[in-house]
Amino acid sequence: MITRIAKPDILTPAYNQMRFIYNSTNKNKDGFKYIFTVYNATTTNEIGQFKVLPDFPNGYGNIDIARIVQSYLSNSFDSALPNIGLANDSYLKYYVEIGEEYIESYNYTLNLTNASGNVRINFTSPFVVGDQVYIEQADGGSANPNLQGYFTVLAQATGAIVVNSAWSDITNANIDGTVRYANNQKTVVTDEITESDMVAFNGAMSFGGFTTYSSFNYLSNQLNLDFYNRVIADGGTFEAIECLNTLNGAGIIDFLTNQPKDGFCITPTQDLYFSLANNYITDGYILFTNSNGDELAYALTKNYVINMVNVGANADPKIVISGTEGIVKDDTDWYTFQFMANDLIVAYSDLYNVCIDRRCKINDYEILFLDRMGSFSSFAFQLATYEKGSVTRDSYNRDIVGSVTNGKWGYDSTDYGYTNINTKVEKTLELNTNWMTEQMAQYFEELITSPVTYLKVGDEYFACLVQENAFEVFKQKNKNLIKQKITVKFANNNAING
């Protein structure tokens, strides 16, 4: 029998460890291995099956499937996203079946009898006529040497088998023993336990943060309730208690982002696209309020586990509760947003506050980046920008063919010997932010380390790569005025004709 020791949270960042740990009462049997089979829950296709030897010394089956799951994740970004969109590239619904395999030996005790001149062993077993078996007696075959070793099953009945060993050779019918398949055929059970309704998303918690991570901080009420009912039906666990505490606390959750809930400023043109684990809830709303007194909302209409929602300055909520349309107007100083129930009264999520940065700017550059929890946030770079270029080329020296004129060979001064090919231009931009808050300065680390960044030039995004290999995280107790500088290059080089 297999029992669970540990498993990942129901909603897990896939770039942290995702360990499934189990124990089995059969772990000391010959040839024992745990079997972990991972499935895509959306398609029910098998992702992979893995056989794991027991750990020493506790004998647990321990597997980390993070690397396996990561290969099925990417990121969802649509610069034309109006309000809410698809984020199914950013998560994987999966389930895991846990089983085991081992060489089973079947014990018999004081059970040898005569069956028409052959030995009959009276015990319950899976053996049938024609099976090749190996019999091992408790005394190693001293009393009955001709019943020690390999035999063929001649007959089978309920609770007994007959093997091709002569009864006349038995000197002691009371010797105990074991019987197993001669080829060490294993007993295999692949689905003794099924861990279902699991979700991995494109996120990575810090080392310290993961030690206190709880998926209930990010799951909507409905997903918590489904999980709570399931674990209660399974006998109740600490997970159920933790889940119930979240439910009793009105289910206040966070978006899947590390962007500060307060002290974060954007320009009137910046984009923010946040992931929200609302688990198919389509009767909720994203509610916006601003310093002008407007209350605006749009409904969640996409039927996904995780939705990508537009909460930036360019979001376009059409439900006007009070005031007029438009989140950011010419005189807006700040706005807030949160995930609400369908009554627009009960809050499902915490409140996020964004201030509007209207300081004079030299440039309009912005960088949209994938943060460590799978959302897209952005920083503006309003101060001086320095653009530099470099050229790469290959050269070779080719033969000058020349020409013959009046019986004399010669060549023209415009003929090429050394020739350039594969010429490409690579441009880099040195970007400078305006003065920022301490919260923004700490979050800026996630831009520098992000694997996915886009440079916004006008209204168009271009893939880019951040060049910084070192950075400093500023704090206002050390530096009153904080600004950041980075260098980026376009992810695609300009080709040159010729």
User: pLDDT digits over 325-383, tens only?
Assistant: 999 999 999 999 999 888 888 888 889 999 999 988 888 899 999 999 999 999 999 99
Nearby residues of 75 by Cβ (< 8 Å), 6 or more positions away? 89, 90, 202, 370, 374, 376, 452
- What average pLDDT does the segment 4-11 reach? 91
Q: Helix, strand or coil for residue 3?
A: strand
Same domain, 20 and 95: yes
Q: Are residues 118 and 168 in the same domain?
A: yes
350 and 451 both lie in a single domain: no
Residue 307 backbone class (left: φ over 0; alpha: ψ -120 to 50; beta: rest): beta
Q: What is the pLDDT of residues 402-442, one digit of tens each?
A: 888 888 888 888 888 888 888 888 888 899 999 888 889 89
Q: Report the distance separating Cα 234 and Cα 19, nearest Å.
A: 21
Mean pLDDT of all residues belonging to the chain? 87
Residue 483 binned pLDDT confidence (cut-offs 50, 70, 90): confident
Q: Please give the radius of gyration of the chain, using alpha carbons only, rounded to the nearest integer.
A: 34
- Whether the CB-CB separation of 186 and 163 falls below 8 Å is answered with no
Confirm whether 209 is domain-assigned.
no
Give domain status of residue 18, yes or no: yes
DSSP string, 312-325: STT----EEEES-S
115, 157 in Cβ contact below 8 A?
A: no
Same domain, 386 and 403: yes
Domain membership of residue 234 (yes or no) is no
Q: Is the dihedral of CA 99, 104, 109, 112 positive or negative?
A: positive
**Residues 270, 318 within the same domain:** yes
pLDDT at residue 247, as a whole number: 46
Are 341 and 371 found together in one domain? no
- What range defines the domain where residue 272 resides? 264-356
pLDDT, one tens digit per residue, over 17-56 is: 999 999 999 999 999 999 999 999 989 999 999 999 999 9
CA 257, 88, 339, 311 dihedral sign is positive
Count structural domains, the chain: 4
Q: Kindly report the CATH number assigned to the domain that includes residue 173.
A: 2.40.30.20
Asked, for residue 237, whether it belongs to a domain, the answer is: no
Number of residues written out for the chain = 498
Measured distance CA(407)–CA(265) in Å, rounded: 79
Residue 69 sits in the same domain as residue 152? no
Per-residue pLDDT for 115 more than 50? yes
On whether both 378 and 458 belong to a single domain, the answer is yes
CATH code for the domain of 369: 2.40.30
d(CA 349, CA 251): 7
CB burial string 327-346: b at 16+ within 10 A, e below? bbbeebeebbbbbbbeeeee
> pTM of the entire structure?
0.81
- 92 and 110 part of one domain: no
The H or E element spanning position 273 is strand 273-277
In a domain, 479, yes or no: yes
pLDDT (tens digit, 9 = 90+) per residue, 253-299? 899 999 999 989 999 989 999 999 876 666 789 999 999 999 999 99
Torsion angle (degrees, nearest 10) of CA 245, 341, 200, 373: -90
Determine, yes or no, domain membership for 227.
Answer: no
Own/partner pairs for 241-248, CB < 8 Å, 24+ apart? 242/214, 242/216, 243/216, 245/216, 246/216, 246/217, 246/219, 247/221
* Domain match, 175 and 280 both: no
